[in-house]
Chain A
Amino acid sequence: MKIWALLAIAVGLVYGALVVAGAAPADTAQSLIQGSLGSAKALEGTMKHFTPLLIAGVAVFFALRAGLFNIGVEGQFTVGAFVCAVVALRMPGWLGLIVGILAAAVAGALWAYPAGWIKAMRGGHEVISTIMLNNIAGQLSTAAVAGPFKDPNQQGTTTASIDPALMLPAIWQDPRISAALLVAVLFVIGIWRWLGRTVPGYELQAAGANPKAATLAGIDAPKVTIRAMAISGAIGGIAGALQVVAYEGRFFAGFSSGYGFDALGVALLAGSNPLILFPSAALFAILAKGSTTIQVMNGVPKGISFVILGLLIVIFAAIRYRKVPVKES
């Protein structure tokens, strides 16, 4: 009942905002859909958001199963993208792509490791430490592309671009769908099977659900926590790497447009079922792509998509992720 009230308030707020912005809500909704799904070009743009959101969503989802809020996907994504771009530029060709993606996974894992360690060994909240790591990643990567890794032939703070012919190939033309999507799908299925069918997957979820009970059952909960954070970081790093080799072809300052944060919404919507990551990532991708269209076509400021995002997070969390008070003793 409460959730329906919340939903009604949210819809009312957005509707009211559209009226205030002087746009007809029905038209706006139409151009949102048109701009994200209406043509091959629009669909390609949505795919460019869908793929990273899906993989980053897997990363957040994975950590959530271990009872960890990995807000740090934003930073792991950035670090992974940067490392991959640097490696792929130094080593052109297939080998460079593979080494770049693997290096990004390692970089992402290393970037997440301190947060896992602090959580497991010192009890410091992983959200605080990952927020700090995100900011450090943003600053250092900006410094790197403004300084030593800057492409001297360009004005902006960016690396050089990878030769488009040497980027990740497409598996479908018109609309062009990159092989990165295939990787993303494999990730979702892989995580689904791993969590559901293997011993480490079971241990991870047990430690996430109740660390005390897991320890009594003979699981080394701190070790599982650190490992889960590192794996989640590795996935986040790969998400960034694929964004470089499949879509952008380079790394630049401010590379992630908040994918790490959106991924939290994606993962919360999915709840405990990884397969729901598909529709939830699609929803966020449509919102991300469509909001650009409504800004141009209907004069609705892009900020409204963040308001919708925030409201969606509240609603999904209210449905899926309610913290049940646990009585100790």
Chain B
Amino acid sequence: MNDLRLLLEGTVILGTPLILAAIGGYFSERSGVINIALEGKMLIATITVWLVTIATGQPVIGVAAGIGASILFSMFHWLLTQRYSLDPIVSGMAINAIAFGAANFLDKRFTDPDQAGFPKLPLMAFWVFALVLPFLVWLYVRHTRGGLRLLAVGSDPEKARQMGVFPQRTRLMALIATGVLCGLAGALIVSNAGSYVDNMTAGRGFIALAALILGGWRPLPTLAACIAFGFFYQLQIQLQGTQVLGISAPRELWLCLPYIATLVALAGLLGRNRTPAGLGKP
């Protein structure tokens, strides 16, 4: 019974940052902006939340600063891809590199090795928010003007323009939403860990992207994919050293599962290709 409780708790702890980041990616990719920089945005948020919270002693200011940093990087992505028509992949790579380097730099320069503990955030509020968010987003894109415009821009920017929607403006809003959610995901990761280590997000931005693709760029299946990834990751931790079906698989095989599932989905073996039609179009 205790194991089961641990499993559920671990699934929520590991799954919620993924949900926030994946839904963040949803906004960006649904508006037509390819975004491989979820990782970088989360990472820059983690270090900002960490340093500002410790400096001010106020977690609220820390989280706000983290979200701000993440929004800043997100808007940089918008500026490069939409204003200067830079390729979104190149821009995303660059943002990831800059965030990785900046986080390392700031951590090494400013983290006080013998500082007091990190204040806990109200985790329950984050969890509820993360679990409800996909449903809200689903209602938003289906039933509001803003949501339908988002889908229109992501499906065919040229036609949306002719219908009187400004794709660049819609995308800016979408990328700000991405920034906010990635910032929250980063805050959650730091708070869960309670301390900062270099490269804190450790590829979780890419797992979130994988969940988004596996979910076919739809909020509710994405939620399911995030929970599944969190569940398997926690299961892997709990099964370590024990045998499953007579063999003890190395943990790396478990860690590969999200990536393999995504490749299978990309290869079209799990139903039709659901890539937004206007993804990557200027």
Q: Which one of A261, A321, A323 contacts B97 once the chains associate, using CB atoms below 8 Å?
A: A261
Q: Which one of B98, B266, B273 contacts A311 once the chains associate, using CB atoms below 8 Å?
A: B98
Q: Which one of A17, A143, A314, A324 contacts B94 once the chains associate, using CB atoms below 8 Å?
A: A314
Could you tell me the dominant secondary structure of chain B's interface residues? helix
Q: Which one of B84, B210, B275 contacts A124 once the chains associate, using CB atoms below 8 Å?
A: B275
Contact B90 A268 (CB under 8 A): yes
Contact A321 B102 (CB under 8 A): no
Q: Which one of B90, B102, B109 contacts A21 once the chains associate, using CB atoms below 8 Å?
A: B109
Contact B210 A132 (CB under 8 A): yes
Q: B246 on the interface (CB 8 Å rule)?
A: no
Q: B213 on the interface (CB 8 Å rule)?
A: yes
Given contacts A128-B262, A135-B203, A140-B256, contact A318 B84 (CB under 8 A): yes
Contact A118 B266 (CB under 8 A): yes
Max count, chain A CB within 10 A of own CB: residue among B90, B91, B96: B90
Contact A301 B109 (CB under 8 A): yes
* Min distance, Cβ A72 to any Cβ of chain B, angstroms: 12
Residue numbers in A under 8 Å from B102 (CB-CB): 303, 306-307
Given contacts A306-B98, A309-B97, contact A128 B105 (CB under 8 A): no
Contact A264 B93 (CB under 8 A): yes
Closest chain A residue to B80 by CB distance? A314
Give the interface size class of chain A.
35 or more
Contact B90 A325 (CB under 8 A): no
Give the interface size class of chain B.
35 or more
Max count, chain A CB within 10 A of own CB: residue among B84, B86, B89, B266: B266
Q: B104 on the interface (CB 8 Å rule)?
A: yes
Contact A128 B213 (CB under 8 A): yes
Q: B78 on the interface (CB 8 Å rule)?
A: no
A139 to B251, CA, bound (A): 9
**Given A132-B210, A323-B87, 13 extra CB contacts under 8 A:** A17-B105, A71-B89, A122-B267, A125-B34, A128-B213, A129-B263, A264-B90, A301-B107, A305-B101, A307-B98, A307-B105, A310-B101, A325-B85
